[in-house]
Chains A and B, each alone.
Chain A
């Protein structure tokens, strides 16, 4: 079974600085997908960024980028130029590309951006 581990329950960063959120996962699949979701206080789940395991290039979306280390099964999220609106719970998630149609989430990291 897939597992996703986020070892940092809470983090804080000053506005305009850079922060990295950690995520490790365990899977026996060779083809899979990884995601970071953001959940602000509104409770709405928002996709931040996605990575396909067979792509070696790290995904980027504006200020958000990932460091995908497939051999180490690590998938960290870097937020550059942090903004107050980035304050949220961030969830790392894994999806298997096989017949196991399940998205497995980590327990989340609460990020607070301070002015």
Chain B
């Protein structure tokens, strides 16, 4: 199993550009989520999904869109990048939301918005 994969690992954008961060897992996990990590802030939840076709907002959803058309993939879209979105982004997945199993994290994407 590859686990949770994220692409790209690094990205530089200009203000106003759009892009999609890719996340995939091959463990047939029900739950997937996106976090951003900023210095001194820990990890903050952006969006999450409890299954294909079901998504919901987390703590900091503004400026981001998600969709979950398959169990495996959970892309994060930046609609119009802003410098405030400069961060490290992590995708995570877990087997089930019931009883909460361990979340497996991807390696992260470092995004810089100029």
Q: Which residues of A contact B (CB under 8 A)?
A: 4, 9, 33, 43-45, 47, 50, 91, 95, 97, 101-108
CB-defined contacts of A107 to chain B, threshold 8 Å? 40-42
Query: How many chain B residues touch A (Cβ–Cβ < 8 Å)?
Result: 25
Q: Roughly how many angstroms separate A106 CA and B43 CA in the complex, as a whole number? A: 8
Q: A44-B107, A102-B48 are in contact. Are A33 and B42 (CB under 8 A)?
A: no
- Against A, the Cβ 8 Å flags (1 = close, 0 = not) of B63-95 are 000000000000000000000000010101000
Min CB–CB distance A37 → chain B (angstroms): 8
Min CB–CB distance A94 → chain B (angstroms): 10
Q: Which residue of A lies closest to B97 (CB)?
A: A101
Q: Are the C-beta atoms of B107 and A33 separated by less than 8 Å? A: no
Q: Roughly how many angstroms separate A91 CA and B37 CA in the complex, as a whole number? A: 12
Q: Which residue of B lies closest to A95 (CB)?
A: B100
Pick the contact of B48: A4, A44, A97, A101 (CB < 8 A): A101
Min CB–CB distance A43 → chain B (angstroms): 5
Q: Roughly how many angstroms separate A4 CA and B97 CA in the complex, as a whole number? A: 20
CB-defined contacts of A102 to chain B, threshold 8 Å? 45, 48, 58-59
Q: A43-B107, A107-B41 are in contact. Are A33 and B90 (CB under 8 A)?
A: no
Q: Are the C-beta atoms of A91 and B105 separated by less than 8 Å? A: no
CB-defined contacts of B50 to chain A, threshold 8 Å? 101
CB-defined contacts of B45 to chain A, threshold 8 Å? 102-104
Q: Are the C-beta atoms of B100 and A33 separated by less than 8 Å? A: yes
Q: Which residue of A lies closest to B88 (CB)?
A: A43
Q: Which 7 A-B pairs have the closest CB atoms?
A: A45-B105, A105-B42, A107-B42, A105-B43, A95-B100, A101-B97, A33-B100
Min CB–CB distance B86 → chain A (angstroms): 16
CB-defined contacts of B99 to chain A, threshold 8 Å? 33, 97
Q: Are the C-beta atoms of A91 and B90 separated by less than 8 Å? A: no
Q: Roughly how many angstroms separate A95 CA and B107 CA in the complex, as a whole number? A: 22
Q: Which residue of B lies closest to A33 (CB)?
A: B100
- Against A, the Cβ 8 Å flags (1 = close, 0 = not) of B90-114 are 1010000101101101011000000
A-B contact pairs, 21 of them (CB 8 A): A9-B40, A43-B88, A43-B108, A44-B107, A44-B108, A45-B43, A45-B90, A47-B102, A50-B102, A91-B42, A91-B43, A97-B99, A101-B56, A101-B97, A103-B45, A104-B45, A104-B59, A105-B35, A105-B44, A107-B40, A108-B42
